[in-house]
Amino acid sequence: MRNAILAGATLAWFVPAIGPCRAQGLPPLEFRDLFNGRDLTGWVNVNTDPDTWTMENGELICSGHPTGVMRTDRQYENFILHIEWMHTEPGGNSGVFLWSSGRPAENKRLPDGVEVQMLELEWPELHKKDGVTPPIAYVHGEVWGVGSVKTVPDNPRGIRSMSIENRCKGRGEWNTYLVVAVDGVIKLAVNGKFVNGISGSTIKKGYICLESEGAKIHFRNIRIMELPPGVTLPHQAFPVLD
């Protein structure tokens, strides 16, 4: 029931496409779990320790050490991602990479892709530089292209796109991101409202990665709805990994 409500609420603008799919006997558009709540089936530990990622009471828990990622075992092109996350440490740092290479370049810990930031609210105060507090925009779902991936920010803060409204909750509270990724465009809803996005991504197909970056973070209810593919040229997709 929850999936049906979520789909209906967020996919009104896809209704014209859903009808023809059903009429042609194609699989219906629906959410499916990316985690089974028991183990890490469907995911690949790229460059973190075996105990970096654990399951407890149906939640995925990341220790934050070492810095690195875990990726999906397959690539995704057009999709809607529902993900809930909660920091438990002051200034915690994490994120999710979309359309990612799934494998960091030599001498790097994080891969190329489009990052959707997940920071705890105290992060700016704990990372002052020369007495200057970084913008609060950091912690409310910034989105930008990492490495070789270039994007056009909806709400520019340099090359990054910042949320136009601050909606994230602090440590000990769950946040919900709904991410719509279609044909090089990403729109991010934070706790029930669309507030950020990018367009013109130079990569439109790749892996989904969860980030470990120095602090413990919990994830739950990670679901994906795959949408019909578009015209993605070879240079717009990362190579498939073994």
Q: Report the amino acid identity of residue 98.
A: L
Q: Does the pLDDT of residue 8 top 70, yes or no? A: no
CB within 8 A of 79, min separation 6: which ones? 181, 224, 225, 226, 227
SS3 of residue 4 by DSSP: helix
Q: Does the pLDDT of residue 7 top 80, yes or no? A: no
The residue count of the chain comes to 242
Own/partner contacts of 226-230, CB < 8 Å, gap of 24 or more, are: 226/29, 226/76, 226/78, 226/79, 227/14, 227/29, 227/78, 227/79, 227/80, 227/182, 228/17, 228/21, 228/78, 229/77, 229/78, 230/77, 230/78, 230/182, 230/183, 230/204
pLDDT, tens digit, for every residue of 82-102?
Answer: 999 999 999 999 999 999 999
Distance between CA atoms of 141 and 197, rounded to whole angstroms?
9
* pLDDT score at 6: 43
- The C-alpha angle with vertex 88 and arms to 52 and 46, in degrees rounded to 5, equals 20
- Closest by CA position to 209, among listed 54, 112, 96: 96
Calculate the average pLDDT of the chain.
91
* pLDDT score at 126: 95
Break the chain into its structural domains and give their ranges: 1-30, 34-230
Query: Which CATH homologous superfamily contains domain 34-230?
Result: Exo-inulinase; domain 1 (2.60.120.560)
The H or E element that residue 68 is part of is strand 68-72
